[in-house]
Structure 1
Amino acid sequence: MTARRARRTLAEAGEAERGSLILTLPPDEAAVLLAERWKLFTTAAVEEMCREAARSATILQMLLPSRAGWLLNQVRDPHLVARVVLEMGGHHRGLVLDQMHDRHSAAAIEAMAAIDVRRTGLAVAAMQKAPASQALSRLPPATIAGLLAQAPPACRDSLVPLLPSGVREEVARRLARSG
């Protein structure tokens, strides 16, 4: 499909159809269309697109992290977001989670941890400290400790003090117990 035809078809398609349509294009063309027409991708379109996690991750990694984060904020199911983010490369995971709203990134991180704690811990380590601590502070202390146990010691040492006081002590206790 030519770029002009793809743009026209995308504009004429229904919301959910847009998500399916974008997946039929080569990843680089899909990324260009998403970058140009991102406002056409509402919740239904992005959720439909995210049903194919690996392909969506490939496309979203080609966008600016802020745009990918904005698109993933549209998705209501954190498990869909988790599957897509886990399919991304390690560095991209942190960049995209940084750009998501706190409650969305926290829900995605919790869902990601249920799938793969190690890769999720590394994604949290790749995040900037402020968004990471804000997202983590919304999670249960046991989940936070499990994630930070996977992170490099320097990251763990810089994130724990940023957690709210009651949570900070509980996470520190759990980390000390786990070694």
Structure 2
Amino acid sequence: HSNFPSSPPQSQLSNYHQGSDAMFASDISLTRFHAYLSECPVDCLEVGGQTKCIPVICCQFFMEDLVASNVHHVSFAWDEPPSSTYNQWFSEMVLKHWTIPKNNRLLHKYAIAPANDTASNAHRVLYRWLHGRQSDLRHTACNPHWREAKAAREKKSKRIKK
């Protein structure tokens, strides 16, 4: 697992469970996030991400929430099973911080049909994101410039089609 972001130290992994101080800190941060969103017009939020369409504030509140929970590694515990206490806690954090922006139409460019908006589909998306991430890391380990090469191939392919 050396290609993955580092996991929290083993000594911290058992501190995360329902009703823990870490979950309480999460609730405080999410309350502040709700308050912030109610005061700021969505159109005025700075955007970021690869496609420049996700408000930067989403990431800032997520990071603040992790720090308040004494987590300084934005990562799952790779050596633990998905059902481990920490991995379940981290999954809940990701889902909470995804749900608020989604419910406030901050992710409208990534719209999901209401019929497909289920917890099991959210878990599938998260699973796919992780496996896509693993793939990116494997490619990067073999060739640090693979993204640029892929983009160049795609650009060349589009020129040929025109």
* TM-score under structure 2 length normalisation: 0.30
Q: Which has the higher contact order (CA 8 A, sep 6+)?
A: 2
